Amino acid sequence: MSKLKKKSELEPGAIPFKSSKEYETGDWGITYPKIDYNKCTKCTLCHFFCPEGAINVREDGYTEVDYRYCKGCGICSHECPVKCIEMIVKK
Ligand code: SF4
Ligand code: SF4
């Protein structure tokens, strides 16, 4: 069995949830999420599902995407229970 690597030995992009704050992945994707605040219920599930930690919860309870870290994977859009996150194709 191979020895597990320490965090300091991993390549950029290989480190899971939240540690990716060190790496701006915002220019990776071809799509980006847009939240419809008229439909958002403030459930915050998108915040917890985002693998990049790119969705923050504001003081008013709504979530907000930090596009510097969003890689456009669409997981937030898929998991949103009221389907109020639309993935927009970058131009
Ligand atoms: S598309 Fe959504 S889940 Fe994926 S990185 Fe961007 S904010 Fe996170
Ligand atoms: S998952 Fe959807 S409804 Fe829930 S906070 Fe995020 S955008 Fe709003």
For residue 58, give the CATH number of its domain.
3.30.70.20
**Residue 72 and residue 51 in contact, taking contact as beta carbons nearer than 8 Å:** no
What is the rounded CA–CA span in Å between residue 16 and residue 74? 17
Tell me whether residue 4 is in a domain.
Answer: no
Instruction: Provide the pLDDT for residue 28.
Output: 78
One-letter amino acid of 76:
C
- Quick check: pTM over 0.85? no
Domain residues for the domain of 64 are 18-89
Is residue 45 classed as helix, strand or coil in its secondary structure? helix
What is the rounded CA–CA span in Å between residue 84 and residue 91? 21
Does an H or E element contain 33, and which? strand 31-35
**Residue 40 and residue 63 in contact, taking contact as beta carbons nearer than 8 Å:** yes
Q: Whose CA is nearest to atom 2 of ligand 2?
A: 80
Q: Which ligand is nearest to the CA of 81?
A: 2
Tell me whether residue 31 is in a domain.
Answer: yes
Site to probe by mutation for ligand 2, drawn from 32, 80, 87 as the one with most ligand atoms within 8 Å of Cβ, is: 80
Q: Please tell me the distance between residue 2's alpha carbon and the centre of ligand 1 in angstroms.
A: 31
Spans in the chain with pLDDT lower than 70: 1-2, 4-22
Q: Whose CA is nearest to atom 8 of ligand 2?
A: 40
Tell me whether residue 7 is in a domain.
Answer: no
